[in-house]
Amino acid sequence: MAEKKALKEKFRRDYTPTNYFVEQVNLLFQVFEDCTKVSSSLKVKRRDGAPENAPFQLDGEGLTLQSLSIDGETLPPSRYSWVEEDLLEISGPLPSSFVLQSLVTTKPEENTQLSGLYKSSSIYCTQCEAEGFRRITLMQDRPDIMATYEVRIEADKESCPVLLSNGNMTENGDLENGRHFATYNDPFPKPSYLFAMVAGDLGFIRDTFVTRSEKVVALNMYSEHNNVKKLYHAMDSLKKAMRWDEETFGLEYDLDIFNVVAVNDFNMGAMENKSLNIFNTSCVLASPETATDADYERIQGIIAHEYFHNWTGNRVTCRDWFQLTLKEGLTVFRDQQFSMDMTSAAVKRIEDVNVVRSMQFPEDNGPMAHPIRPESYIAMDNFYTVTVYRKGAEVIRMYHTLLGKEGFRKGMDLYFQRHDGSAVTCDDFRRAMADANGVDLTQFERWYLQAGTPVVRCEAKYDVEAKRLSLLLKQSCRTPQGGDALPFHMPIRVGFLAQDGSELLPERVLELKEASQEFVIENVNSKPVLSLLRGFSAPIKLEYERDDEELAFLMAHDKDSFNRWEAGQLMFSRTIHANAKAMQAGQAMQLNAKLVDAVRRTLLDTSLDKSLQAYALTLPNLQNLAESMEIVDPDALVDAYKFTKKEIARSLRDHLLKTYEANLLPEDSFRNDAEAIGMRRLKNVCLGYLAALGDKEVLDVCLKQALTANCMTDLVAAASCLAANPGEQSDKALEHFYQQHAKDDNLVFCKWIAIQAAACTDQALEIVDKLFKHPSFTIKNPNICRSLFISFAGNMKHFHRADGSGHRWLTDRILELDKLNPQTAAKILTKLAGYKRFDAPRQASMKAQLERVRNTEGVSKDTMEIAIRALA
Ligand code: ARG
Ligand code: ZN
C-alpha cells in the first residue's frame, strides 16, 4: 500500500448502491499477546441487474493480508489489486453468490488511533464508527450493507476472562494452552459500524429489566475492577431510559441482553454497537467523590442516547454517512427530551441552548460551516460536529413543535413501520413526518441543505382603536459561500403578556415561511409585552428592540421559564458589550444600575427553583458573548466580563455571602436529589461572584470549601474560583485536589488539569506548558488531551494572546498528537478555524498556524482536511 495519504473528497450526490452485497459475516478473532489474527468469511451476493463481470470492491486499511480465497479456492494475486490505498478490487466475473474468506493480522497494542481493534489499558476493544471496521478486516464498510454476524473470540483465559461481542452468546469453553473461547450470534442485520468485540479482565455489575411485553433483559455493565462501584448510576439511568422509550415512543428492547463496557481511551463519548455499547469512562463512571452533578446528568443523558440508538440508528440506520444527522440529530433530541422528563425541563433546555449558541453558532459562522446534512467530506470523523448533532436535534425539535407531540409520535410510528431493518435518508424521515400528518414539509428540506444561522427580525404594531396586533417577521441568512439562503420554514412560539404579567392571549406558534411575513391578531384588548421564541423554538438569532425595563418585566413575569432566563441573559450581555466598547475607546467601564437591581431581585427571591435561580444569576459565557461582537477583541471582552462580574459582586457582596451560607449542606451526608443539586448550583454561583472580588476573606471561603468538600461538584467549584486567583489559597487547594483525588484517578486528574488550563491568569500559558510536562500527563489518552488542549483553547484571553504564543503552543501539540491520533488532533485544530472573526494580529497568527499545519509533511487526512477547509 502506498505511504502517502491521498486526499479524496466524497460527495453526497455521488451515492450509488453496490453491485454486490455482504449478507452474512463470520469472524474469528485469535487474540495473542503481540498480535491478533482475524479470519473472516463473507457470504456475498450479486445484486439483481448488476453486470456479471462487475468487480467486487472491499475496504481495508492498514491490514496485513495473509490470504484470500473464494469458495475455498485461493485467489491468485492477478485477480485482485489495491485500486486505491484503502480499496481492494477483485476482478470479475464472479459467481452470483459466493463466500469470500480472508485472513489478516493486526497489532491492537500499537493502534494509537483508537479506531478499529485497539488496546485500552489491558482491555482489547473496538471502535468502528464511522470507518473503523475496515481497519479490522476486509469488508464493504458502508452503512447500507447490512449483514448478520457470527463471531468467535479466542484469547488467554487469565488475562482475558471476559469475551464479548454483539448479540447472544451461543457457546463458550476452554482451549489448549490456557486459552478459551466464546461465540456470539447477532440475529439483527446491521452495518459494519455497529460491530464490536471486547476481551479483557473486567469487573461487572448485573441487573435485569422487564420489558412491557414481559421479556426479561439481562443488563451487564463492565469496567476495570477498581471502578465497578462507579457503575451503579449508569445502570439506574439505563433502566429509566428503557422504560421512558416504551412509554414515550412505544419502543421496546429487542434482544435478551444489553452490555455496556467502560474503557479509558476513547475518541468520543460512547458508541451504540448493537447490544454492546462501549463507553468512554468519563461518560459512564460516577461517584460523588469523582463526578460532579453535571457529570451525573451527562452520564444519564449519554447512557440514554446510546440506548435510544437501538431504534434510531440501529434498527433504522443511515444509507450513507451524509445522512448522519438522521440518527444523531434524532437521537440527541430523544435524549434531551428524556433528560427534560427526568430532571427539570427548563434547566435542561437552558443548558442545551447554551451549547447551541456557544458552540454551534460559531461553527455555523466560520469556515467549517456545513448543513446538518453535509455535501462532502474527506475524513468522515470530522463531521461528528455540533452542527450535525446539536443543530440536527434542533431541527427535529422543530418538527415536534410544528406537528405537536401527537403528530410527532405519528410520524415516528410511520417511520418505523416503513423503514425498520433498512438504511435510509433524511428525506425518508421528513416524508414519514409529512405523510403521517398530511402536511407539506417540502420547504423544511432547506434546513438540511443550507448552512448558516438565520436571523429573524420582529417588529410589532398595536392599533388601540382596532384592537389589532400585527407582527412583522423578517428572516435572512447568509450562507457560508456569502450568498443569501432561501427562507426557512420555522416555528416561532410567542406569548402575550398583559401589564400585570398575566397571559393576555393564549400562546401561539407562528409558522414563518416567507422572507417577510405579517401575522395579524384581532381582538387584543391591550398592548401586550411579547415573549418571543419561547423555549428557543427555532435555532436562530432573534432581533427585537426592547428596553431594560421590558427585559426586567419579562424576568419577573414571563411564564416561560426559558424566556425569563433569556431576558436576564440579554441584560447581562448588553452591559458587558457596552463595557467592552468603552474599554476599546479608552473610556471608563460602568455598571448598569438596572442590571444590579435585577440581579438583586433574583438573588433575594427565595420562591424560585434554585437551579433556575442559579442559571438566572449566571453571566452568558464568553464564547456566546464573542459571537455577537463584530470583531472579537478577547482583551476588551474578557476585561469587560470580569469588570461586570466584579462590580455586581461588590454591590451585592453581603447578599451573595448570605445566599452562599444559606445553601450550604451538611458535610457529613451527601445528597444528590434535585433540591441538593439546586442548592449546590446556587451556592457555587454565589461563590463565583465572590471570588471575582479576590480579597482574602472570600478566598478563604473558597479554600475552606475546597478542603472540606464532600463531593466533586463543590471541590471543582471552589478550585476553579481559586485557580483564577493565584496565591497561597490557590496553591493549597490545588495541591489538596491533586493529593487527595487526582493523583490516582485518571478522570479526576483530567478535571484538575482542565481547571488550571481554563483559569484566566497572567501565567496561563506557563501553567499549561507545565501541565503538559507533568509526569502523569500522557498524550495517548484523549480525555487527558482534551482536558488540557480544549480547556486552554477556551481560555479566551490567553489562548488568543496577541503575540500568537498561545496559538503556536497549541499547534505544536496538535502536530505531535496527529502522529498518534489524527481524529482527536483534527478536533482540536478546529479551535483555530474561526480566525476571520478576530482582529488583524490574531487573524494573522491563527492563519499562520493553520498554514503551518497545511504545509507539514505527513499530516493525517483528518487534520489536513480541517486545515484546508479552514483556510479555504
Ligand atoms: N455514534 C456515536 C454517538 O452516539 C459517536 C461515534 C463517533 N465516532 C467517531 N469516530 N467520530 O454519538
Ligand atoms: Zn449518537
Percent of the chain scoring above 70 in pLDDT: 99
Query: Residue 688 is which amino acid?
Result: G
pLDDT tens, residue by residue, 55-69: 999 999 999 999 999
Task: Name all domains of the chain by residue range, CATH numbers in brackets.
Answer: 16-201 (2.60.40.1730), 316-449 (1.10.390.10), 455-540 (2.60.40.1840), 546-693 (1.25.50.10), 743-871 (1.25.50.10)
Q: Which ligand is nearest to the CA of 821?
A: 1
Region class of 804: left (phi > 0), else alpha (psi between -120 and 50), else beta: left
- What spacing in Å lies between the alpha carbon of 129 and ligand 1's midpoint? 6
Please say if the pLDDT value at position 823 is more than 50. Answer: yes
Report the distance separating Cα 497 and Cα 507, nearest Å.
Answer: 10
The pLDDT value given to residue 5? 53
* The three grid cell numbers given for residue 352, joined into one nine-digit string: 442545551
At 2 the pLDDT is 36
Read off the pLDDT of each residue in 503-510 and give the average, rounded to a whole number: 97
668-678 per-position pLDDT tens digit: 889 999 999 99
Q: Is the pLDDT of residue 405 over 70?
A: yes
Cα–Cα distance between 535 and 151 in angstroms, integer?
47
Q: Which ligand is nearest to the CA of 328?
A: 2
Question: How far is 19 from 678, CA to CA, in rounded Å?
Answer: 58
Assign 226 to helix, strand or coil.
helix
CB contact set of 43 (below 8 Å; sequence gap of 6+): 22, 23, 24, 25, 97, 99, 147
CB 452 within 8 A of CB 369: yes
C-alpha of residue 268 to centroid of ligand 1, in Å: 6
- Helical packing angle, 324-342 and 345-355, nearest 10°: 140
Ligand 1 site-directed mutation target among 271, 283, 380, most atoms within 8 Å of CB? 271
Of the chain, the percentage scoring pLDDT greater than 90 comes to 98
Any idea which residue has 416561532 for its cell? Answer: 492
- Rounded Cα distance between 366 and 830, Å, is 10
Q: Is the dihedral of CA 756, 761, 764, 767 positive or negative?
A: negative
Backbone angles phi, psi at 43, to 5 degrees: -90, 115
Cα distances (Å, whole numbers) of residue 548 to 496, 571, 649? 18, 7, 20
Model confidence pTM above 0.95: yes
- For ligand 1, atom 1: residue with the closest CA: 271
Inform me whether the pLDDT recorded for 1 exceeds 90.
no
CA distance 107 to 839: 47
How far, in Å, from the CA of 268 to the mean position of ligand 2? 10
What average pLDDT does the segment 773-791 reach? 98
Q: How confident is the model at residue 417 (pLDDT cuts 50, 70, 90)?
A: very high
CA gap 325, 397 in Å, rounded: 13
In three-state secondary structure terms, 414 is helix
Ligand 1 residue neighbourhood (C-beta within 6 Å) = 129-130, 267-268, 270-272, 305-306, 328, 381, 384, 823
For residue 486, the one-letter residue type is L
Q: For helices 696-708 and 712-723, what crossing angle results, to 10°?
A: 150
DSSP code string of 285-314: ---TTT--HHHHHHHHHHHHHHHHTTTBTT
Please, are residues 857 and 836 in contact by the beta-carbon 8 Å criterion? Answer: no
Q: What is the mean pLDDT of the chain?
A: 97
Instruction: Give the position, in ligand 1's atom list, of the atom nearest the Cα of 384.
Output: 11
Cell numbers placing 261: 463496557
If you take atom 4 of ligand 1, which residue's CA is the nearest one?
Answer: 271
| pLDDT greater than 50 at residue 3 | no
Longest dimension (CA), the chain: 94
Mean pLDDT of 10-35: 98
Question: How many other C-beta atoms are found inside a 10 Å radius of the C-beta of residue 580?
Answer: 25
What is the CA(360)–ligand 1 centre distance, in A? 17
Q: Which residue numbers are catalytic?
A: 306
Measured between alpha carbons, how far is 345 from 337 in angstroms, rounded to an integer? 8
Q: Judge residue 859's burial from the number of C-beta atoms within 10 Å of its C-beta, 0-12 exposed, 13-18 middle, 19 or more buried.
A: buried
CA 216, CA 231: separation in Å to the nearest integer?
A: 21
What CA–CA distances, in Å, run from 449 to 370, 442, 455? 9, 12, 17
**In angstroms, rounded to a whole number, what is the distance separating the alpha carbons of residues 540 and 475?**
9
- Helix (H) or strand (E) segment spanning residue 693: helix 674-693
Output the pLDDT for position 667.
86
pLDDT in tens, 67-105: 999 999 999 999 999 999 999 999 999 999 999 999 999
φ and ψ at 11, to 5 degrees? -120, 145
Decide if pLDDT at 4 tops 80: no
Q: Which of 127, 156, 593 is nearest to 381 (CA)?
A: 127
In the prediction, which pLDDT does 481 show? 86
